[in-house]
A = this chain, B = another copy of it.
Amino acid sequence: MSKTDASPARSSGPSSRGTATARRIESSAVALVLKHGYDATTVDMICADAGVSQRTFFNHFATKDAAVIGTDEPRLDESRVRAFIASTGPDVLADAIELIALPGLEGGLDPDLMRMRMLAITSNGALMQRQLERFASIEAEMAEVIEYRLARLSTPGESDADVREQSRLTAQLLAGVMRYTAESLMRGDAGSVASIVAQTRARLTAVLPKLAGR
């Protein structure tokens, strides 16, 4: 009797939610990519190392990237979001960096895995790209959050629609800031993630006034 659908994440969004198998695959993937590079690491190699079949691999991860990057969605931390919205300062962008970057890059489950994953990602341009796309995936969410801050800063003549569009634009600017941050990390400009984030914040507050046409 056909049990049609069986696997954990059959062709839908990958889950990897904590299952031991997924975790094994992840750490094998990260380790092998660190050792041999991304292109030189085949899915078969990862499967052999993790002791699973190729089919199982793809049951857990939609793509090879996903196994390396990790699939835990970079959710926004609720309490941080509340604090962000509550703040009334004009440093919307600068505040937003920490909202995404700190939980997304640092906070995690297994610190060792996170560190190795970080290395694996920053060692490869294509993977970096994917990572940035993941950040981009919460852009819509960020736009919404940003809207709360911007609404309070709106000037007389602006409609709600204007504010919404400005929020979308700001969310994209934020993505740019994130990319700059990631680039700094890739350049290996020393320091922890937190210090790089702080540095970005400083540069941002320095340059923004110059760009705002009075």
Q: Which residues of A contact B (CB under 8 A)?
A: 89-94, 129, 133, 150, 153, 155, 158, 162, 165-166, 168-170, 172-177, 179-180, 183, 200, 203-214
A-B contact list, 13 entries, CB within 8 Å: A90-B211, A92-B211, A150-B210, A158-B206, A162-B206, A165-B203, A166-B207, A168-B183, A173-B177, A173-B211, A208-B211, A208-B212, A209-B214
User: 14 additional contacts, CB 8 Å, given A172-B176, A172-B180?
Assistant: A90-B210, A91-B213, A162-B203, A166-B203, A166-B206, A166-B210, A170-B207, A173-B177, A173-B211, A176-B177, A208-B212, A209-B213, A209-B214, A211-B212
Chain B nearest CB from A126 CB (Å) reads 10
Q: Which single residue of chain B is at the shortest CB-CB distance from A149? A: B210
Number of this chain's copies in the assembly equals: 2
- A177–B172 contact, CB under 8 A? yes
Name the contact of A183 in the complex, choosing from B172, B177, B214 (C-beta under 8 A). B172
For the residues of A in contact with B, the DSSP-based class is: helix
> Which residues of B have CB within 8 Å of A133?
129
Chain B, Cβ-Cβ closest to A165: B203
Residues from chain B with a CB closer than 8 A to the CB of A174 are 176
Identify A205's interface contact among B90, B150, B206, B213, CB under 8 A: B213
Q: Which residues of B contact A153 (CB under 8 A)?
A: 210
